[in-house]
Every structure is written in C-alpha cells, then in structure tokens.
Amino acid sequence: QTEAGVTLIVVLVFLSISFYNVLELTLIIFTTFKQFRGLYFWSFLVATWGIALWSLGFVLKDTGVSTQYLLFMPFIEIGWTCMVTGQSMVLYSRLHIVLRSRKKLRMALYMIIFDAIICHVPIIVVAFGTNSPNPGPFIVPYSVYEKVQVSIFFVQELILSGLYISETVKMMRVQNGTNLGDNGGPRKLMKHLVLVNIIIVLLDITILGLEYAGYFQLQTAYKGLVYSVKLKLEFSILNRLVEMVSG
C-alpha cells in the first residue's frame, strides 16, 4: 500500500505539471501566432489540449474519482490520439521549412497517417475492453500491442527528427560554403535546432524505457509531461527558425 501511495503521488505530480504546461502553452500559442490558422498552429493547439484530455482521464481513473470506464476512457483515448499524432503533425509541419523534396514530405505524411490507423484504432478497442467489466480477453493483447504502438510512434518521431536534423545540417554546410564568412550566427542557430531535436529524441527514449520496464502507471503520467515539454521545446525551435529564415 505504501508503494502504491508513493506511485500515486508521483503520478499526480506528473499530471499536475502537465496541466500547468498546457495552460502555459495555450497562452504562448495565442500570444505568439499572429494568425490563428495553418497546419502548424492547429497541430500545436490539438497536441496541447490532447495532453489536457489525456491527463484528465488518468486523474479520474487513478484517483478513483470515477470507476465508470465509459467516463474516463474517452478522455484518455481522444487525448492520446491528439497528443501523439498531433505532436507528429507539429514535427511534419515544420519540415517544410528545411525540406524541399515534395516526395519526402508526402512519404512522411503517409507514414503518419498509416501509423495513426494501425496504432490508434487497435489500442482504443483493446483499451476499452481492458477497462470493461469483462477485461479477461483483452489484457494480453493490450499488454503486447501497447509496447508495439509505443515503439512504432518512437520510430516515427525518430524518422521525422532525423529528417529534420539531416536537412538542417545540409543547409548549414551550404551556408558555411557561401555567405557565412566569419559570422557564426546562422551556424549557432542551426546547432541549437539540432540539439533541441536530439533532446526530444532522448525524451522519447525515456518513455520507451518506462514502457518496457513495466512501469505502466508511471509511464502514462510521465508521457503527458514529456509531450508538454517537447511542445515547449518546439517553440524554441519555432523562434530559431523564424530567426534563421529572416536572416
């Protein structure tokens, strides 16, 4: 009971920080974007409020406020879909700034859509089943496919971040060979962008580690926190990109 109590406290701390980050991100979104439209804006907004729905669902479930799975599960699953695929769409939407190949951009979008279908749909079905009055038939499929979908989404974000890093490095080399001279400003900007993308990948690795270590309750709460931190890092990238393009 003591261990369960400590775990619940840690979970609630993670969820509380996630809620705070959602409020902060919402304020930043509506004060940073001059026009409330476009793929980047809507991806950001959907991903941000997906974290809030996800966290609310687990607050209801983990604290025992509601034992009705039909109440907390919609929050969890809708929030999860918006949070995870929304984050991928944020990554995709800024790829246009550094990636000029229409073919690669289309392939990246097709990958996101395909992964969303094969991951979200099966997990939503078995997750509802696992939390239903008759969870028996769903427990093993859920435990297996949960690891599968976490791995797939990790690889997806790794590919998107890898594309971004490689194209940014290419752009850096071009600028080094043309108009940089002694001015290291653009180079510093690009190094910053690459570093932030590496940090995002490392955060994804921690989620993967908790999942495979079997700390499901901690992983679910920590995931919302990580995704909110990643979105904050995205604003760092956005500001640097604007600097780079303006320069």
Q: Global pTM?
A: 0.90
Q: What b-and-e string marks burial along 34-66, b requiring 16 or more CB atoms within 10 Å of the CB?
A: eeeeeebbebbbbbbbbbbbbbbbbbbbbeeee
Angle formed by the axes of helices 216-246 and 185-213, nearest 10°: 170
Taking 50 as the threshold, does the pLDDT of residue 180 lie above it? Answer: no
pLDDT at 182: 47
pLDDT at 236: 79
Interatomic CA distance for residues 164 and 194, integer angstroms: 8
- Among 188, 230, 185, smallest CA distance to 205 is for 230
Burial of 18: CB neighbours in 10 Å, binned 0-12, 13-18, 19+: buried
Taking 70 as the threshold, does the pLDDT of residue 1 lie above it? Answer: no
Phi, psi of 68 (to 5 degrees): -85, 105
pLDDT in tens, 182-202: 455 667 777 777 888 889 889
pLDDT at 244: 60
Percent of the chain residues past pLDDT 70, beyond the cut: 91
Taking 80 as the threshold, does the pLDDT of residue 49 lie above it? Answer: yes
The DSSP code sequence of 145-197 is HHHHHHHHHHHHHHHHHHHHHHHHHHHHHHHHHTT-TT--HHHHHHHHHHHHH
User: Where does the pLDDT of residue 210 fall: very low under 50, low under 70, confident under 90, or very high at 90 and above?
Assistant: very high
pLDDT in tens, 59-73: 999 988 888 899 999
Interatomic CA distance for residues 1 and 86, integer angstroms: 37
The DSSP code sequence of 43-94 is HHHHHHHHHHHHHHHHHHHHTTS---HHHHHHHHHHHHHHHHHHHHHHHHHH
DSSP one-letter code for 99: -
Report the chain's terminal Cα–Cα distance, integer Å: 58
